[in-house]
A and B are shown apart, each in its own frame.
Chain A
């Protein structure tokens, strides 16, 4: 069995891992739709998105590993960390649910991600800024795709509306975590590597409201719940995701793939 790597939790490393892990885990969930989507065209679209997110994750993990300075590459970080050293937002761990849940979650994350990547274009870290250059184009498309679907489903049939309402009910409380604030975040702002996540909230709400208006949806009441995935304390789903994801690396010590 391959043991976990020991991560150096420097704030800039953790800040980048929050973004990388969020993309990686969401990609993991989106890939589950392969061969099971409502139409073949959506199998392709969701796989496309997953591929983009894996790409963004790889680039960021590589950069985080360089900043960490312990010789960890993208795969060491992706496959050999202990659960407490993953820093994705809890929202992306949740099961893929039905198509309404998937597109709604995609809308929340893609909108947030787009605002984040737009700010990261001006990162004090040149590598991160370069990654942002490509990522921004990708997530703009993800957001558009998700927004169009949320509108279609919210304003489709009574059943699709019911499912969107249910999805919103489930997902909304997890969005708070996307705008959390702490020392890691503060450090990113001071060093210029990236924006405070809290600064993204107002523009995010504005964009979501615009989509919801078109969809005929109302913003739910604010929830007091704050997810803690970004601090390494996850939901019950994370363990299972990692078990699957890490299995081969753990069971073939020294394996070359």
Chain B
């Protein structure tokens, strides 16, 4: 759910020179399949670079889902009505499920889930930087549903046609389940803005003011600063450019904001008749880089929470294996 366009190809992974004529032929066949829009399955031959890029992208997407459970899970115990509590529980549960589908997809490429967690816990793997922001009020829940899920959906839908089929299938499943997330967020805000008290409306506006810019940063750096997008596009992993998705999102969201009766915190946001699109203000990319690099408001807490859950759970995982082994030995006897 919480995809963010990230520079997923590491600097150290420039494609190596092809080893043999046979490999060149495999590469050619692979390229032809990609160009024809064919799907690649787990056991098909694929360039190492393609495989590594996918493992990184899919696993970072998975990490985003599970880290994303934390800022929202923060509010389950304080949900203001039982209906909202149930909806939030279902949403956070879905996110866990999405993480799981994605780890499963990444594992088809040769990574183990434990290795992927290790990469997350040691800071080697990234996750969507949006979750390094704090959730400070109940209105943050609706705002995240509206803006963050909205941005994620826009990033995600094109991936349903990703050339790597296990990832595409996971994304289809995710997108199907995702539709309720954005809707419930928007509906929660609409309820407060339409029927709520002045205090509630102020709470909503405050949340929008805090989440707007981080949400549009979710589409990643501008196209001219994303050199690796081209390779991902060629491989059918990435289908639409960062800037294009961002513009689409902003255009859709401006109208939704009007419906809600909230203002968006960008004085430069205005309709451009010639482009048939909204112009918007300059994004602070230094903030984005800072947060992505680990220097955001909640990076340390988010990671610490995941590491703690993992470490605290070690005895449980070991006990379950020990028990399973004992049972297996009993059955073999």
Q: How many Å from the CB of B220 to the closest CB on chain A?
A: 25
Q: Does A32 count as interface, using CB distance less than 8 angstroms?
A: yes
Q: How many Å from the CB of A148 to the closest CB on chain B?
A: 10
- Contact, CB under 8 Å: A32 / B138: no
Q: Does B316 count as interface, using CB distance less than 8 angstroms?
A: yes
- Contact, CB under 8 Å: B90 / A51: yes
Q: How many Å from the CB of B2 to the closest CB on chain A?
A: 13
Chain A residues within 8 Å of B188, by CB? 257
- Contact, CB under 8 Å: A157 / B96: no
Q: Does A163 count as interface, using CB distance less than 8 angstroms?
A: yes
Binds B, one of A39-47, A86-94, A139-147, A165-173: A39-47
Neighbour of A160 across the interface among B83, B96, B316, CB < 8 A: B316
Q: How many Å from the CB of B92 to the closest CB on chain A?
A: 5
Q: Does A238 count as interface, using CB distance less than 8 angstroms?
A: no
The number of A-B residue pairs with CB atoms under 8 Å apart is: 149
Given contacts A48-B93, A55-B86, A152-B319, contact A35 B309 (CB under 8 A): yes
A74 to B308, CA, bound (A): 36
Which residue of chain B has its CB nearest to the CB of A30? Answer: B89
- Contact, CB under 8 Å: B319 / A157: yes
Given contacts A152-B320, A157-B318, contact A248 B138 (CB under 8 A): yes
Neighbour of A54 across the interface among B69, B89, B322, CB < 8 A: B89
Neighbour of B82 across the interface among A31, A34, A36, A78, CB < 8 A: A78
Which residue of chain B has its CB nearest to the CB of A58? Answer: B82
Chain A residues within 8 Å of B199, by CB? 252, 255
Interface residues of A in 226-257 (CB under 8 A from B): 244-245, 247-249, 252-257
Neighbour of B309 across the interface among A38, A48, A54, CB < 8 A: A38
- Contact, CB under 8 Å: A155 / B69: no
A105 to B11, CA, bound (A): 51
- Contact, CB under 8 Å: B305 / A36: yes
A44 to B138, CA, bound (A): 23
A79 to B78, CA, bound (A): 10
* Size bracket of the A interface: 35 or more
Q: How many Å from the CB of A253 to the closest CB on chain B?
A: 8
Q: Does B20 count as interface, using CB distance less than 8 angstroms?
A: no
- Contact, CB under 8 Å: B322 / A74: no
Which residue of chain A has its CB nearest to the CB of B137? Answer: A248
- Contact, CB under 8 Å: A47 / B319: no
Q: How many Å from the CB of B77 to the closest CB on chain A?
A: 5
Q: How many Å from the CB of B91 to the closest CB on chain A?
A: 10
Q: Does A99 count as interface, using CB distance less than 8 angstroms?
A: yes
Q: Does A131 count as interface, using CB distance less than 8 angstroms?
A: no
Chain A residues within 8 Å of B200, by CB? 252, 255-256
- Contact, CB under 8 Å: B73 / A34: yes
Q: How many Å from the CB of B298 to the closest CB on chain A?
A: 13
A256 to B30, CA, bound (A): 56
A160 to B316, CA, bound (A): 7
- Contact, CB under 8 Å: A156 / B318: yes
Which of A35, A36, A79, A254 has the largest count of B CB atoms less than 10 A from its CB? A35
- Contact, CB under 8 Å: A248 / B89: no
B174-205 to A contact mask, C-beta < 8 Å, 1/0 = 00000000000000100110011101100000
- Contact, CB under 8 Å: B76 / A249: no
A and B contact pairs by CB, cutoff 8 A, 5 listed: A36-B309, A156-B322, A248-B79, A252-B200, A254-B197
B→A interface (CB under 8 Å): 66, 69-70, 73, 76-86, 89-90, 92-93, 96-97, 99-100, 103, 138, 188, 191-192, 195-197, 199-200, 305-306, 308-309, 312-320, 322-324, 326
A→B interface (CB under 8 Å): 28, 31-32, 34-41, 43-44, 47-48, 50-51, 54-55, 57-58, 61, 74-75, 78-79, 98-99, 151-153, 155-157, 159-160, 163, 244-245, 247-249, 252-257
